[in-house]
């Protein structure tokens, strides 16, 4: 079942962030929400994930959807180790062996196995963000929601994380929504890029990227046309 | 080895400072030259030794320790419960806050006098200890609750963590430093006010009652000796608590 966003209204005081907003999202594709900061992308994502209640309107999706959410900030518990932070979202699981293997597997996807017993304040900002990505992986939500997960990370790390996310996506096929205002991030991973403007937020354009993920890495020139287009928008 | 000598150095410094203060005391004693105003160190030590060999001394201490613990216990139970509720509910906070402010501003002696009318003498110090420590615990727990990072709670909700998991893993660890600081303050204050209450309420076994009779007989060395006993007990309480706080940090 696809996700449909129907007639959503959400205001903060007098600021109408979402005004009669509608969008239909195919569950099998990686959707990227692209646009200037402050246009309402995060609000939209919060409404989808149920963090925010819209003033009116509906989000139509199957009941009991579980969200693996990567926030802009790491949101780790400072009094827990890396391992414990990741295991936190699996605390209701009875099978300890499963939890352990799940934590290990997710940490190795973000290459942090050697730091499993560290506390967040002993890690760099980029490493902490990787822990929060590992937490999202371990949870294996039906939805993978990412709100500028690579902010402040350097290019090389960003690419390896995007590869990790793509690998995870291939394995589990979650519905994936990805907020960014970085053109290269968007082009590296998305199937559909929605260009937003606002507030109130509106869709300027939807771009369907028709280059396979494998080719994007080896033949980046194939993305050139898209890149020009996106740069023009900003 | 390095660590050992550093530790040694620290101890030497502490010892030196202690000796210096004793020397200042002794000098003051010599200059004033009236044992009634400032007793000699030796006379205080002698008074202290006379005390500790008496079985009654230990009964007195036990009774006072019991009262302090009882007062603190009550303030912890009420302070934490009310603190959590008020931290979560703004209306309740607005309701309780004026009374806590009033308690904080009221001279402790006013409470002692009214408590003398209300309670049996042995219970007055417990009540006073409770009343004086409650605002500290309450204030700290409220700040602890308010200090909880709402972004962490949001994260916990998105990941559908259970209420009990959220309380145990986010609420309690967030409150803990505030709670610990509150308890350490309350421990010191608890001793002071409950001994003061004892001075006026005269329970049969009480450090305060003995301070009072030392004053009545103008026995300054004894007054000093009892005071030192209170200081030592207060220190012991604080160290035990600090140790507990450290241990539980390690295990959690």
- Provide the pairing of β-strand A202-208 with A192-197: antiparallel
The pLDDT-based confidence of A219 (bands split at 50, 70, 90) is: confident
Cβ pair B170:A77 closer than 8 A: yes
For A218-228, what is the mean pLDDT? 80
This prediction's pTM? 0.79
Q: Is the separation of the CB atoms in A186 and A180 below 8 Å?
A: yes
Residues of B in contact with A66 (CB under 8 A): 160
Note the pLDDT tens digit of each residue in A152-210.
788 888 888 888 898 899 988 999 999 988 888 888 888 899 988 878 888 888 888 88
Task: Identify the residue whose tokens are 């036990």.
Answer: B62
**83-102 in B: which are within 8 Å (CB) of A?**
none
Cβ pair A79:B165 closer than 8 A: no
CB neighbour class for B240 (10 Å; exposed up to 12, middle 13-18, buried from 19): exposed
Where chain B has pLDDT below 50, the residues are none
Note the pLDDT tens digit of each residue in A33-79.
988 888 888 999 999 998 889 999 988 988 888 999 999 899 999 99
Name the closest residue on chain A to residue B153, using Cα atoms.
A75
Q: Is the separation of the CB atoms in B64 and B208 below 8 Å?
A: yes
Q: Is the separation of the CB atoms in A175 and A24 below 8 Å?
A: no
pLDDT of residue A123: 92
pLDDT of residue A159: 84
Query: What does the alpha-carbon distance between residue B164 and residue B250 come to, in Å, rounded to a whole number?
Result: 22
> A187 is written with which tokens?
């082009």
ipTM: 0.89
Name the closest residue on chain B to residue A132, using Cα atoms.
B155
């Amino acid at each position: 079942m696809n996700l449909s966003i129907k007639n959503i209204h959400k205001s903060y005081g007098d600021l109408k962030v979402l005004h009669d907003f509608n969008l239909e999202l195919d569950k099998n594709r990686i959707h990227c929400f692209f646009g200037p900061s402050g246009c309402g992308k995060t609000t939209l994502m919060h409404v989808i994930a149920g963090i925010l209640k819209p003033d009116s309107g509906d989000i139509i999706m199957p009941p009991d959807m579980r969200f693996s959410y990567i926030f802009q900030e790491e949101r780790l518990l400072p009094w827990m180790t890396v391992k414990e932070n990741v295991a936190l979202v699996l605390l209701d699981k009875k099978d300890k062996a499963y939890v352990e293997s799940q934590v290990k597997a997710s940490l190795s996807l973000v290459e942090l196995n050697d730091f499993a017993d560290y506390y967040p304040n002993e890690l760099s900002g980029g490493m902490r963000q990787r822990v929060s990505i590992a937490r999202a992986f371990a949870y294996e939500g039906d939805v993978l929601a990412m709100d500028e997960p690579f902010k402040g990370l350097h290019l090389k790390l960003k690419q390896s994380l995007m590869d990790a996310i793509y690998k995870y996506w291939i394995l589990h096929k979650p519905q994936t929504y990805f907020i960014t205002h970085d053109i290269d991030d968007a082009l590296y991973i998305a199937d559909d890029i929605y260009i937003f403007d606002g507030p109130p937020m509106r869709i300027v354009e939807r771009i369907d990227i028709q280059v396979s993920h494998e080719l994007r890495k080896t033949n980046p020139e194939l993305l050139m046309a898209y890149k020009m287009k996106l740069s023009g928008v900003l | 080895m390095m660590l050992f000598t550093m530790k040694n150095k620290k101890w030497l410094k502490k010892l030196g400072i202690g000796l210096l203060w004793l020397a200042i005391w002794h000098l003051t004693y010599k200059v004033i030259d009236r044992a009634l105003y400032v007793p000699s160190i030796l006379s205080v030590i002698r008074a202290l030794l006379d005390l500790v060999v008496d079985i009654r001394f230990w009964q007195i201490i036990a009774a006072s320790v019991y009262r302090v613990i009882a007062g603190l216990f009550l303030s912890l139970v009420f302070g934490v419960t009310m603190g959590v509720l008020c931290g979560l509910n703004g209306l309740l906070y607005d309701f309780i806050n004026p009374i806590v402010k009033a308690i904080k501003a009221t001279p402790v002696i006013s409470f002692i006098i009214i408590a003398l009318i209300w309670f049996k003498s042995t219970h007055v110090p417990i009540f006073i200890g409770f009343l004086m420590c409650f605002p500290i615990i309450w204030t700290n727990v409220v700040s602890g609750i308010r200090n909880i990072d709402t972004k962490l709670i949001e994260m916990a909700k998105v990941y559908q963590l259970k209420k009990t998991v959220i309380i145990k893993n986010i609420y309690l660890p967030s409150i803990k430093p505030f709670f610990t600081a509150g308890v350490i303050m309350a421990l010191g204050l608890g001793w002071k006010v409950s001994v003061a209450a004892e001075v006026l309420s005269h329970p049969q076994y009480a450090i305060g009652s003995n301070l009072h009779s030392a004053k009545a007989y103008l026995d300054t060395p004894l007054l000093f000796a009892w005071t030192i006993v209170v200081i030592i007990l207060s220190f012991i309480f604080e160290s035990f608590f600090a140790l507990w706080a450290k241990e539980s940090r390690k295990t959690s």
